[in-house]
Amino acid sequence: MNGLPVLAVDIPSGLCADTGVKLGDAIRADVTVTFAAPKPGLIKTSATEYTGRLEVAPDIGLIDCPHDAELHWVLPGDFVGFPPSRSPDSHKGTFGHLGIIAGSVGWHGAAVLAARAALRSQPGLVSVVTTEGAWPVVAAQLAQPMVHPWSGTARKVLSQCTAILMGPGLAGDLPDEMRAEISRLWREYPRPVIADASALDLLPVGESAAGLRVITPHPGEAARLLDITVGKVQADRPATLRELAAKLGCHVVLKGNQTLSGGVTGRILCNSTGNPSLAQGGSGDVLAGFLGGLLAQPRLIESPGRTLAHSIWKHGLAADCLTQECAGWGMEELIFALK
């Protein structure tokens, strides 16, 4: 009957398990439940319209696999006990200070969303540095974060932070000094720096950085950074991630369906949460803020790969919970669901 949901077991019939290419006719499933581990073809972009939402049933009585793979599917059990519980004698200085360089006239909302999302990951302090034109609007919407217009004082505030997020909402006119400072921070700042959105176009290429570096491009931004087409990005997302990591010397969060995270070498983690309701303006700002709030906490940067994967997983999980509970939701609801 038309309109009934379609469930594929292990793999949609007619889809190649190795390449994700349709072999003649193929089932278009709403949900695919595969066993033990995802088959390589199931996580190809070409397979998405046939697999629908991919679910993995990992424990079906098989012996442990003796081999390790480059690509790893993220499961809830990967985050048991993470983040670690907080000591009773903790104070705001224990959990770091996130600096956010964000917002410009016409794009001030991105700074607000990133700051509010950062608070949900509970760093000790959050400071927002924005353009002079955007400052009144951003400051009026934020109570807990400290908000500063771009100035010498703002640079002093950033120097005291334990991590810096830069980029959300910087699409408008920026002072030349702010552009130069973004590039300098990427090169010289000794603590974690996360570059998102418009800041991606201001990063120096081919220069080593002083600390942990993370970029969070969507496929269009990844294509622009590598001077290739979006189709090529999506055709081999793990290879795209590796190339970006090598070009900029950083960890990469390649957003999209089954968001990937990883670096130049080692495991690439494939996220298992999230749904098409995240296809709204602002969802990337929320992810960047939440991620930045975690990386600002000194105890969480000892395992940056796990921290990145956790932030992506929680972001997608919040969207999944909201989608189950209500037909329509926006970024304010997503931020509130990040817990």
SS (H, E, C) the chain: CCCCCCEEECCCCCECCCCCCECCCCCCCCEEEEECCCCHHHHCHHHHHHHCEEEEECCCCCCCCCCCCCEEECCHHHHCCCCCCCCCCCCHHHHCEEEEECCCCCCHHHHHHHHHHHHHCCCCEEEEEECCCCHHHHHHHCCCCEEEECCHHHHHHHHCCCEEEECCCCCCCCCHHHHHHHHHHHHHCCCCEEECHHHHHHCCCCCCCCCCEEECCCHHHHHHHHCCCHHHHHHCHHHHHHHHHHHHCCEEEECCCCCEEECCCCCEEECCCCCHHHCCCCHHHHHHHHHHHHHCCHHHCCCHHHHHHHHHHHHHHHHHHHHHHCCCCCHHHHHHHCC
In this structure, are residues 208 and 264 in contact, taking their beta carbons and an 8 Å threshold?
A: no
Rounded CA separation 218/168 (Å): 13
Q: Is the sign of the CA dihedral 138, 139, 145, 147 positive or negative? A: positive
Rounded CA separation 77/115 (Å): 28
The series of mean pLDDT values per 10 residues for the chain, 339 residues long, is: 84 93 92 90 92 89 75 92 90 94 96 98 97 96 96 87 97 91 95 97 86 97 97 96 96 97 96 95 97 96 94 97 91 93
* CA atoms lying within 13 Å on the CB side of residue 298: 11
Q: What phi and psi values does residue 126 have, to the nearest 5 degrees? A: -135, 130
In this structure, are residues 291 and 214 in contact, taking their beta carbons and an 8 Å threshold?
A: yes
- Quote the pLDDT of residue 66: 67
Q: Using alpha carbons only, give the angle 82, 86, 91 rounded to the nearest 5 degrees.
A: 140
- Quote the pLDDT of residue 37: 85
- Quote the pLDDT of residue 61: 79
- Quote the pLDDT of residue 118: 98
What count of other Cβ atoms lies within 10 Å of the Cβ of residue 224? Answer: 14
Q: How far apart are the first and last CA of the chain?
A: 40
Rounded CA separation 88/163 (Å): 24
Rounded CA separation 168/199 (Å): 8
- Quote the pLDDT of residue 67: 67
Q: Catalogue the long-range contacts made by 259-265 (C-beta closer than 8 Å, 24 or more residues apart).
A: 259/312, 259/316, 261/305, 261/308, 261/309, 261/312, 262/238, 262/305, 263/305
